[in-house]
Chains A and B, each alone.
With several copies, the nearest count.
Chain A
């Protein structure tokens, strides 16, 4: 069944048991954004030291795709240099646009989200956390209510 594509075990696991969904007191950057389509809101918090994402966490509520994507993202980027995290964000966006090959090597668990490509509106759910990560790393990470769509 087609839905298996998108409601895979791994996605449901991250949704039901989100990793790093917690406050982060030592956060040096943070940003909150909402998905104007559904009102879902995600905050990404990170502790950046010497150009490296020491710790990454997220908060907020949302659908399984946005929550799982956020959860996987925190695992994927933690410990990496900012550059690499941004590269991965760009690659992930490329995968969602169907332009980057969804390989396990590159994306790890995140590859499970590749089925979302078939559902244009859900792509916004999947990239929300990544948008927020990018904005928080861009410096103007104040929790303003600018939209992403």
Chain B
């Protein structure tokens, strides 16, 4: 299995991990910060903060431009980050990793650069109803230009993909299957290997939104045989504006650039230009150099923790949270088996509207997210405008879950 889960995964020493994250020393409203919003963005270990600062203080230059020493150092740091990401994801070569600002830009790049080149009227793009807006809207925009058609895999009542009608949805008209590796709204981990095999059987290309999966799970793109995989650095301990797109070399080769400009060209004439080979064809203008270097440091940190241990911790803390939330009387959205879900837990607590709940919890230092989580199709499917969501990462403790549960009582008292 490509999403590996070590049977004998080591566990994290969470207290030691926490010491690496300066923001966890913060207080909010006079209480210790209990940050349960890592699915929105993760915090950054000191090492990542230092990598960015150090880049500016010692190696700052534009990458791939200068002959001078700083230019060479910056280029090397930037390309080292690319190589590290390639290894992290099991990609065959660094050149299969295109740097982008994150998942949203990566999916737009596929939907435009590949989708608009390849898709025709009559073609179908198959998504799922649990996709984040970032894996829906770019395809809607591509549909407008190409005349292809969007279809959706529906959801079961308990938050899984309903694959019972897959044969009718996934046909030789299907040219793309866009699917999240893990839902940010439901926590669901999707059966990627199975979906990819089914898609390939009809000749469709698979675009995986790994924004939520990548931070918690070892991913091996080669073993998975995935065609494109999008990820966000800021959700996996890296800086904002870091991330990228893995793409199979032969697909990247056929892809048109989405942005034109400096450094992605080979030659520019008055009326046309020729472009570089991937990945540079897709990296127009000055890139997020310091940020990708910071992401390299984040990935190195994750590698040291060990992705098996990271996943084991997520699974354990999620199991604990699900149990405590159920005890407290919360309604959970999404699967309740920690083996097939990640650490983003959507819920309603009694009748307290998520906005009110988030506000009241914040007063106790507990940070959760309230809203539609950029997944309005999910909200509509389950008949609610919004949910409250608690999400976890390597620094989350059971004591923090306890703090969440305790704070729920305050909310109940106000709204009783």
- Give the interface of A toward B (CB within 8 A): 1-3, 6-7, 12, 34, 36-41, 61-66, 119-122, 125, 145-147, 149
- Report whether B353 and A37 are in contact in the complex, using a CB–CB cutoff of 8 Å: no
- Report whether B75 and A38 are in contact in the complex, using a CB–CB cutoff of 8 Å: no
- Report whether A149 and B356 are in contact in the complex, using a CB–CB cutoff of 8 Å: no
Q: Report the Cα distance A120→B376, complex, angstroms.
A: 23
- Report whether A38 and B274 are in contact in the complex, using a CB–CB cutoff of 8 Å: no
B154 within 8 A of A: no
Sorted nearest first, the 5 A-B pairs with minimum C-beta distance are A147-B266, A63-B355, A39-B385, A39-B372, A63-B353
Q: A34-B266, A121-B72 are in contact. Are A12 and B415 (CB under 8 A)?
A: yes
B224 within 8 A of A: no
B354 within 8 A of A: yes
Q: Which residue of chain A has the shortest Cβ distance to B71 in the bound complex? A: A121
- B interface, over-half SS: mixed
Scoring B67, B359, B370 by chain A CB atoms within 10 A of each residue's CB, the highest score goes to: B359
- Report whether B355 and A149 are in contact in the complex, using a CB–CB cutoff of 8 Å: no
Q: Please name 26 pairs of A and B residues whose Cβ atoms are closer than 8 Å in the assembled complex, sorted by A.
A: A3-B360, A3-B363, A7-B360, A12-B414, A34-B266, A36-B265, A36-B266, A37-B64, A38-B354, A38-B386, A39-B372, A39-B385, A39-B386, A40-B386, A61-B385, A63-B355, A66-B355, A119-B67, A119-B72, A119-B359, A120-B72, A121-B66, A122-B359, A147-B266, A147-B274, A147-B277
A-B contact number at CB 8 A: 85
Name the contact of A62 in the complex, choosing from B65, B353, B363, B372 (C-beta under 8 A). Answer: B353
- Report whether A38 and B355 are in contact in the complex, using a CB–CB cutoff of 8 Å: yes
Q: Which residue of chain B has the shortest Cβ distance to A147 in the bound complex? A: B266
Nearest-Cβ distance from residue A73 to partner chain B, whole angstroms: 18
B interface bracket (residues with beta carbon within 8 Å of A): 20 to 34
B275 within 8 A of A: yes
Nearest-Cβ distance from residue B269 to partner chain A, whole angstroms: 9
Contacts of B371 in A (CB 8 A): 37-39
Q: Report the Cα distance A6→B313, complex, angstroms.
A: 37
Q: Report the Cα distance A38→B353, complex, angstroms.
A: 10
Q: A36-B265, A37-B371, A61-B385 are in contact. Are A120 and B76 (CB under 8 A)?
A: yes
Q: Which residue of chain B has the shortest Cβ distance to A124 in the bound complex? A: B355
Nearest-Cβ distance from residue A111 to partner chain B, whole angstroms: 19
Contacts of B415 in A (CB 8 A): 12, 64
Q: Which residue of chain B has the shortest Cβ distance to A144 in the bound complex? A: B274
- Give the interface of B toward A (CB within 8 A): 29, 64-67, 71-72, 75-76, 265-267, 274-277, 280, 353-356, 359-360, 363, 370-372, 376, 379, 385-386, 414-415
Q: Report the Cα distance A12→B411, complex, angstroms.
A: 12
Q: Which residue of chain A has the shortest Cβ distance to B275 in the bound complex? A: A147
Nearest-Cβ distance from residue B318 to partner chain A, whole angstroms: 24
Q: Report the Cα distance A118→B376, complex, angstroms.
A: 28
Name the contact of B363 in the complex, choosing from A2, A37, A120, A147 (C-beta under 8 A). Answer: A2
Contacts of B360 in A (CB 8 A): 3, 7
Nearest-Cβ distance from residue B137 to partner chain A, whole angstroms: 13
- Report whether A145 and B67 are in contact in the complex, using a CB–CB cutoff of 8 Å: no
- Report whether B414 and A3 are in contact in the complex, using a CB–CB cutoff of 8 Å: yes
Q: Report the Cα distance A35→B105, complex, angstroms.
A: 24
Contacts of B29 in A (CB 8 A): 2
- Report whether B379 and A39 are in contact in the complex, using a CB–CB cutoff of 8 Å: yes
Nearest-Cβ distance from residue B286 to partner chain A, whole angstroms: 15
